[in-house]
Structure 1
Amino acid sequence: MADGLTIGQAAAFVGVTIKTVRHYHRLGLVAEPERDGSGYRRYGSADLLRLIQVRTLAGAGVPLAEIGDLLDADPERFAAALDDVHRRLTEQIEGLIARRDTLHRLTGDRALLPDRACAILDRMPGLGFSPDYVAGQREALVLARALVPEGFDGFLTQLEHLLDDPGYTDLIKRGWEAETWEPDDPRIEELATAMADHYLANPALLGNSTSLRAWVSASTRYRLINNHRQDQAPISARLTALTEAKLRSAGVPIPRH
């Protein structure tokens, strides 16, 4: 019986495929054994040891191009090379974790909005706002952050004040209820007046001067954001336009449509 193992046996013992063993041979990581009298290559214990070392280092993330030098290095160089591989693997892991977290945050557009904005959106259902309203606000926030970044923080502060005001939240809910009204319903004008009066009685709800200036200087972008989804809520869009017109008449600097 011939001494040593066939390539298939050696591969099975080490836990790799025959194709992998041959790849190691091509790269010069494992020397090919001499052929026996029958013309077969036979793998001895030294060959198996080398295969195990190569497989283990490759499985640990060491690039195949570096394994040969690493196995032939002295203990100090070997330890230094492993430290370098450890550092690179750590960087790759951190990058993958960041990508995974980004994918996780995509739920609810969290990849597109900061935590502060998400916290505002998370409050809305508990205050009685419908899922459709919250979805529209989420999309508007994404647009606002991208189109008017200089006014975004001030806009978030304004929203925080608005959600803290029960009178405002009641008016907004009435505005969404108005979608069931007829377009010429006189209550639309009355509600717009009530909204404008509430803003004027509570100036903090209008936002700070820096934020207002940012919106005024970006009137075209403001119009894009303000008109978002208006086809789905035409009465609310009209209500907003009437309210803004009343505020402008009172001297509030709101961009014109």
Structure 2
Amino acid sequence: MNDSIRFYHAAQHFANKVENLASVQEVILCGSMADGDPYPGDLDLAVVLSHLDELPDLARFCRQISSATHAWEVFVFNANINDRREATMSKYMEQLNSEQAKEVLRILCKGEAKLASRAEEIAKAFICDIQEDELASQVYWALEHIDVRDLWDRSGKTRFGYVDPVEKAYEMVKDALEPFAEQIHKLRDLALLSEAKKAGLGLTKGVIQFSKEGRTEFSEWAQDDPIEWLWGWLTDWEKECANEEEQACIREMERLLEERHL
């Protein structure tokens, strides 16, 4: 499945989920997907809300997009558009890519303490709303949906020489799991250690589930690779970690692996 189709399906699933939220007025496809680019680099969506009371629910549905791709961004807008001028501005907003949208937000918040504070609240709600079991499902999905045909295309005899399929399989597993590790590092940087622990345990549970239940053709090449990668990543984290709360998180993740003899 190419990126364009995968992004489209992810957008459709997201829209189907959020339509049950009373605050959602509109879901808009933005960026390269909206322009019909046959090779989009990411999935950009804008959601227009009438109020922010259901923001945690929306954040949960946003995170679930990671089951299909980690290359996504969702922008939230207030539905209070009262005149033609504002409506026209909204049309331009739809065409912004993720970096441009971030710059617009930075400009709006500069010198506007109240707006900056509200934007901070919304951003924190997205970042902190982590459900351990939900994240585990996303990890499992990310591994389960690695296409073995991609492994075949990228390994064996190539124009650059021979590529070992076993080594390439490990590399593909690493690519699938690193976005989850990066999420944990960002939470650590923000001193959100409780959330980092939830994310770490969710990552561990997802990896364990794949090692036990993975039944795809790709899993035949890489059944133990996620466990191997996770042990190595935990070792690196432990070496650089001096915080007791982080060390406790690492020990709990290691305990989960050891309990399952992995």
More strand by share: 2
The normalised TM-score by structure 2 is 0.25
The normalised TM-score by structure 1 is 0.25
Higher relative contact order (CA 8 A, sep 6+): 2
More helix by share: 1
